[in-house]
């Protein structure tokens, strides 16, 4: 049973570029959340997708956008990259059908994004 | 607004000794509380959760946590530390009145000394 998988594992971009990160949720999960974890910090909630719609959003600018596909996989897009976007981006999945907010999230190993 | 505080950036414990990693929280409704562990270059792994019921919750790898409503705390504990427990630990809270937004603490680095 595959867990949460993220691609790519590492990515290097330059300022002003755009990036797309991908996530496949754990089998049986229907909800995907994205987090940004800066060095030495806890994960910061970006947004969550369920039924192909953004359901909740954290305090991130519109440069951060996402998508969820019918197979529950998800993408995180970041436009106009700047140095401060350098971080580990984590995807987490859960199941609303299994109880939603009282269920733990399952995390992928993340994508390490470096902005030069 | 909901929040989580982990007051210690780092905790050092000798192998075999009991360990405690502290966490306090603030939510408007009833809290759903979680502990996660992160090893280098990896994602977060779920350890245990408190939703309702017994205040002492047992989880993976011999860890347990005690929910204290009056002190709004959810400290992580283990009776006998192992060197392999060395990692970064995150406490997280979700407000039962708010659907699915989870807030993480800044993390506590646990060093188990051989």
Q: What is the predicted pLDDT for the residue at A104? A: 84
Closest residue in chain A to residue B97, using alpha carbons only:
A101
Judge whether A36 is closer than 8 Å to chain B, CB to CB: no
pLDDT band at A96 (very low <50, low <70, confident <90, very high): confident
Percentage of residues in chain B with pLDDT exceeding 90? Answer: 81
Q: What is the predicted pLDDT for the residue at B98? A: 66
pLDDT at position A1 over 70: no
Please say whether the beta carbons of A3 and A109 come within 8 A. no
Residue B57, strand partner residues = B65
Distance of CA A4 to the CA centre of its chain: 11
> Across the interface, do A107 and B106 touch by the CB < 8 Å criterion?
no
Give contacts of B46 with chain A, Cβ < 8 Å: 104-106
Closest residue in chain B to residue A9, using alpha carbons only:
B41
Give contacts of B93 with chain A, Cβ < 8 Å: none
Give contacts of B45 with chain A, Cβ < 8 Å: 107
What are the tens digits of pLDDT across the range B44-90? 999 999 998 899 999 999 999 999 999 999 999 999 999 999 999 99
Average pLDDT, chain B: 93
What are the tens digits of pLDDT across the range A51-86? 999 998 999 999 999 999 999 999 999 999 999 999
Q: What is the predicted pLDDT for the residue at B95? A: 81
Q: What is the DSSP-derived secondary structure letter of residue A72?
A: S
The residue ranges of DSSP E strands in B3-107, in sequence order, are 3-5, 10-14, 19-21, 24-26, 31-38, 44-50, 56-58, 64-68, 73-78, 87-95, 102-104
Min Cα separation B1/chain A (Å): 13
Q: What is the predicted pLDDT for the residue at B11? A: 98
CB-count exposure of residue B3 (10 Å: 0-12, 13-18, 19+): exposed
Find which of A93-107, B28-42, B88-102 is predicted with most confidence, using mean pLDDT.
B28-42
Number of residues in chain B: 114
């Amino acid at each position: 049973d595959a867990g949460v998988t993220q691609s790519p594992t590492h990515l290097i971009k330059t300022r002003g570029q755009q990036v797309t990160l991908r996530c496949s949720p754990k089998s049986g999960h229907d909800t995907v959340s994205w987090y940004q974890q800066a060095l030495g910090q806890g994960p910061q909630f970006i947004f969550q997708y369920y039924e192909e719609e953004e359901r909740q959003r954290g305090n991130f600018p519109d440069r951060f956008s996402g998508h969820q596909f019918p197979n529950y996989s998800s993408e995180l897009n970041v436009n106009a990259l700047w140095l401060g976007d350098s971080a580990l981006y984590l995807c987490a999945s859960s199941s609303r059908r299994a109880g939603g907010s009282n269920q733990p999230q399952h995390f992928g190993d993340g994508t390490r994004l470096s902005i030069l | 607004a909901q929040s989580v505080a982990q007051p210690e950036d780092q905790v050092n414990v000798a192998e075999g000794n009991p360990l405690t990693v502290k966490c306090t929280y603030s939510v408007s409704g009833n809290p759903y509380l979680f502990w996660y562990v992160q090893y280098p270059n990896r994602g977060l792994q779920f350890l245990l959760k408190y939703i309702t019921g017994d205040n002492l919750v047992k989880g993976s790898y011999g860890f347990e946590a005690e929910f204290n409503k009056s002190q709004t705390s959810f400290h992580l504990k283990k009776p006998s530390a192992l060197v392999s427990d060395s990692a970064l630990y995150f406490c997280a809270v979700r407000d039962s009145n708010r659907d699915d937004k989870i807030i993480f603490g800044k993390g506590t680095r646990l060093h188990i000394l051989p």
